[in-house]
Amino acid sequence: VERWILARLRHQKFFSLSELNSAISQLLEELKHRPFRKLPGQGRRLFLRLKKAKLRLNASVEDIDYRTSRGLDKALVLQFASCRWIEEHLNLLITGPTGVGKSFLACALGQKACREDYRTQYFRLPRLLQELNIARADGRYGRVLATPARTELLIIDDWGLQPLDDQAGMILEILEDRYNVRSTIVTSQLPVYNWHEAIGDLTLADAILDRLIHNAYQINLKGESMRKRLKTLDLSRPLG
């Protein structure tokens, strides 16, 4: 799949990361409608894992950039890439300012989890809350809630962009079902010590953070936005 995407992008030029991501998303959408019966069993299984994961970015641990100074330790990332922490039902909290690669790192670890045959699912927190609110209104709440609650690795991106307030109870239900039996990655621009206030409801905040933080690793990325440094991407050059 990766080679097919790279071959399709080789002769195109992109002037921003968003343009590149958009092109990749279109190709992934095209793949959904291509037959894969000739794939061997393991390849087909991975394809289905990635399709169900709905990762926001086409990222892999092999493509993580360690040259930029942002407090990312390669040895630590490789430990996470082993997925041992998922086996131990631990969490990972990734914080840092906008544009430093939090979502990329989360999606890269999510893709590696898929390759290791863990059920994985990605959500932006605003979209997850929207889906839960709609499900609550039309009677599908229990069924929709079960998906993020039971997946082996849940990725919640963009935590803390707005207070949870009366929606905090839904997040608590998910984290309660996952506590000590599933793993969760959370990314946020806010430092962890500000999460309590960002949740809004102080009582629910205590319960949510108790289930999320106390068995979690933390990675705090630093530096300026990598998007500011992004130059024209030219994929017309030969690969290799």
pLDDT value at residue 239:
43
Residue 228, number of CB atoms within 10 A of its CB: 7
Closest C-alpha among 95, 154, 149 to residue 124 = 154
Per-residue pLDDT of the chain (240 residues), as tens digits, is: 676 677 777 667 766 777 777 778 887 777 766 655 555 566 788 889 999 999 999 999 999 988 877 889 999 999 999 999 999 999 999 999 998 999 999 999 999 999 999 999 999 999 999 999 999 999 999 999 998 988 999 999 999 988 888 899 999 999 999 999 999 999 999 999 999 988 888 889 999 999 999 999 999 999 777 666 554 444 445 444
Would you state the pLDDT for residue 240?
42
Helix ranges (DSSP H) in 69-160: 74-81, 84-87, 102-115, 125-138, 141-150
CB 15 within 8 A of CB 236: no
Q: Would you state the pLDDT for residue 33? A: 65
